[in-house]
Amino acid sequence: MSYQVFARKYRPQTFDDVVGQAHITQTLKNAIEQQRLAHAYLFVGPRGTGKTSTARILAKALNCEKGPTTNPCGVCVQCREIAEGRSLNVLEFDAASNTQVDKVRELIIENVKYAPTSGKYKLYIVDEVHMLSTSSFNALLKTLEEPPSHVIFIFATTDPQKVPLTIISRCQRFDLRRIPAPLIENHLQFIAGKEKIDLEPAAAQAIARGAEGGLRDAESMLDQLVAFCGERITEQEVLNIFGFSAQETISSLCGAILAGRCGDALGVLQAQAEKGKDLSRLMADVITYMRDLLVTKADPDGMRADVTAELFAALEEQAGGLSTDRLLELIEQFAAAENRMKWAPNKKLHFEIAVIKAVQTLEQATLTEILDALAAIRSGGELPAQIARGNSGPGPKPIARPLAPKPAPKPEPAAKPPENTVASSISTPSAAAAGEPDLLSSTPVVRETPETGPEPDLPPAPVDAGTLWTDLLLAVRQERPLILTWLESGTLLEVAGNTVRLGFPPGQRLAMESLLRPNNRSFLEKLLAKITGAPRTVECETREGLVIEPVNLPPPAQAAAPADPMEDFKNDPLIRKALELFQAEIQPAV
């Protein structure tokens, strides 16, 4: 008998032999036992995960002489013919080679009406069904929806997005997963035991990692290694033949990056390049390792089942001091570098740049960390762990960009007047200009005696409407000049108690409504309370025939040359502490 490769020789023959797809095989076994068979199935999954093998096992389970059964015997005529691919009741063809609608009509549509020659069912297994043309799919729709009772369709595809929804909706869809590396390792050791091959556990791990969840790829690599190495296969031989990097090398490279040791990381990369390793593959391994760190950080229990105990311990240790935001940023950076490496003649250059950039990223504090650190300084608490750890790391110091100048401090409240006295008046711009005491801004009288305690505030002192109007215009011009034109469109009618009533001609209704907006009205009321020393409410109205007399305001005083705000900013104690903490310096924004 001619030699058979491992992928064919050890192809699963029963549902229990299928590796890593228990959610699929158990569902199919239950459907057979309960006689709830669908007329069409769609198997979706990456290459080498068992789509076609599962379809053949289902065909044997249905047409076995003992069937339908969940455990086909494998020795009857029907089972042997299906396993060898020569059964007349199981038509298996590749859609990539039969895309034309005429082929579909000839192979399927015209033959479904004929009963099976033997057995109970006639099965059509269409591999890579997404390769069929649109016309072929359309021709298949009616037959797929209402096939004869003896016909079952099984479609397999690696690209379900290209399968029309009208086809998918007529099938029961099963998604096959990538097979976890530990299961692939166990299967490789099973084959090695059957073939009397000494396969090192580390070598099996390297093959499983390189197969990326595809069992057929792992079996093919093992077949190639046996041809090269003979009866003993070591990890180093696996790495040399396929250009893989050892798990320890990947862990060491990522560990050097995460620790900020840029020189060590570049040294590992240089050593791998000198050994002729595939740098694109190494970049993919680094991204996978970063992904494993991220999953370990987010869901340790979910990651534990996918890796070995030693690797999980290393991942858990390295992920402990990192935030998910940092890991996500590193993954994005390395993924962008991987994309550039696909078309770059010098892949090592882009890899080195990605490593240096990753180290610099880890040394720089994020905005959130800076804000947390400043908050900790203000409250006198301890610094966040990320900042405290990042200060001692190597690399360039972050540059502090100038922030907004610190606002001027609010004036201190007036000192409490002596007992049994009246608080002194506060001068306003108009009073100061006239050199006279300003009665408009007098504060309310507060009287307190040892016997009676504080007495209620006295009513606000009377104000002069003309002087108050001038003071209000001056204050608005100084604090919010943009609304001065609206205010000058009216006039002050009266001050009744705590109400200041403004009047506007009918033609200035828009200006009045603009002043009555909540933010503008609140601003005017606060300003009037500041000027008069008592809370005020602003009311506006329009009056026919109202004549607005212009107010001659004094010209604005020449302001003194402002001090350099940057000097005040630099001398702020908090800023000085932040510069010292982050070992940074202030540079002008570019």
At 96, the pLDDT band (50, 70, 90 cuts) reads confident
Domain membership flag for residue 263 = yes
Report pLDDT digits (tens) over 240-265. 888 787 888 888 888 889 888 888 99
The two structure tokens encoding residue 336: 């962008």
Say yes or no: 75 and 158 in one domain. Answer: yes
Closest CA to 143 of 175, 101, 174, 173: 101
Instruction: Give the per-residue pLDDT at 383.
Output: 55
Say yes or no: 169 and 27 in one domain. Answer: yes
Closest CA to 6 of 48, 47, 45, 46: 48
* pLDDT at residue 450 tops 60: no
Q: Which of 121, 141, 175 is the last residue of a domain?
A: 175
Say yes or no: 294 and 224 in one domain. Answer: no
Say yes or no: 55 and 163 in one domain. Answer: yes
Q: How many domains does the chain have?
A: 4
Written in H, E and C, the secondary structure of 532-568 is HCCCCEEEEEECCCCCCCCCCCCCCCCCCCCCCHHHH
The whole-angstrom separation of Cα 263 and Cα 280 is: 21
At 563, the pLDDT band (50, 70, 90 cuts) reads low
Domain membership flag for residue 62 = yes
| Higher per-residue pLDDT: 59 or 308 | 59
Q: Which of 335, 363, 391 is the last residue of a domain?
A: 363
How far apart, in Å, are the Cα atoms of 81 and each of 64, 78, 86?
10, 5, 5
At 32, the pLDDT band (50, 70, 90 cuts) reads very high
Say yes or no: 211 and 318 in one domain. Answer: no
Q: At what angle do helices 201-211 and 215-229 cross, to 10 degrees?
A: 130
Say yes or no: 70 and 12 in one domain. Answer: yes
Instruction: Give the per-residue pLDDT at 365.
Output: 67
Say yes or no: 161 and 189 in one domain. Answer: no
The whole-angstrom separation of Cα 442 and Cα 462 is: 10
Domain at 228, CATH number = 1.10.8.60
Residue 303 near residue 327 (C-beta atoms within 8 A): no
The two structure tokens encoding residue 485: 């034109």
Query: What is the distance, to the nearest Å, from the Cα of residue 156 to the centroid of all Cα atoms in its chain?
Result: 32
Instruction: Give the per-residue pLDDT at 425.
Output: 35
Closest CA to 65 of 55, 57, 77, 56: 77
For residues 554-584, b (16+ Cβ closer than 10 Å) or e, as one string? eeeeeeeeeeeeeeeeeeeeebeebeebbee
Domain membership flag for residue 423 = no
Instruction: Give the per-residue pLDDT at 54.
Output: 93
Domain at 490, CATH number = 3.30.300.180
Say yes or no: 190 and 41 in one domain. Answer: no
Question: DSSP characters for 16-54?
Answer: GG-SS-HHHHHHHHHHHHTT---SEEEEE--TTSSHHHH
At 304, the pLDDT band (50, 70, 90 cuts) reads confident
Domain membership flag for residue 566 = no
How far apart, in Å, are the Cα atoms of 338 and each of 333, 353, 534?
9, 11, 69
Which neighbouring-strand residues pair with 154?
Answer: 41, 125
Question: DSSP characters for 350-411?
Answer: HHHHHHHHHHHHHHSPPHHHHHHHHHHHHHT-PPPHHHHHHTT--SPPPPBPP-PPPPPPPP
Say yes or no: 134 and 75 in one domain. Answer: yes
Q: Which of 175, 190, 223 is the last residue of a domain?
A: 175
Structural domain range at position 231: 181-242
Say yes or no: 145 and 17 in one domain. Answer: yes
How far apart, in Å, are the Cα atoms of 192 and each of 10, 233, 253, 587?
11, 10, 31, 65
**Those residues with Cβ within 8 angstroms of residue 326's Cβ, 6 or more apart along the chain or in another chain:** 361, 362
Domain membership flag for residue 315 = yes
Domain at 145, CATH number = 3.40.50.300
Q: What percent of the chain has pLDDT over 70?
A: 81
Sign, Cα dihedral of 462, 466, 469, 470? negative
Region 540-562: mean pLDDT is: 77
Say yes or no: 284 and 171 in one domain. Answer: no
Tell me which long-range contacts 579-582 makes (C-beta under 8 A, separation of at least 24): 579/400, 581/373, 581/377, 581/383, 581/387, 581/391, 582/365, 582/370, 582/387, 582/391, 582/397, 582/398, 582/400
Residue 306 near residue 276 (C-beta atoms within 8 A): no
The whole-angstrom separation of Cα 301 and Cα 545 is: 82
Say yes or no: 483 and 347 in one domain. Answer: no
Domain membership flag for residue 478 = yes
Q: What pTM was estimated for this model as a whole?
A: 0.57
Domain membership flag for residue 547 = no
Determine which helix (DSSP H) or strand (DSSP E) holds 458, and give its type and residue range. Answer: none
Domain membership flag for residue 287 = yes
| Higher per-residue pLDDT: 421 or 48 | 48
* pLDDT at residue 371 tops 90: no
Domain at 281, CATH number = 1.20.272.10
Report pLDDT digits (tens) over 121-137. 999 999 999 998 888 88
At 402, the pLDDT band (50, 70, 90 cuts) reads very low
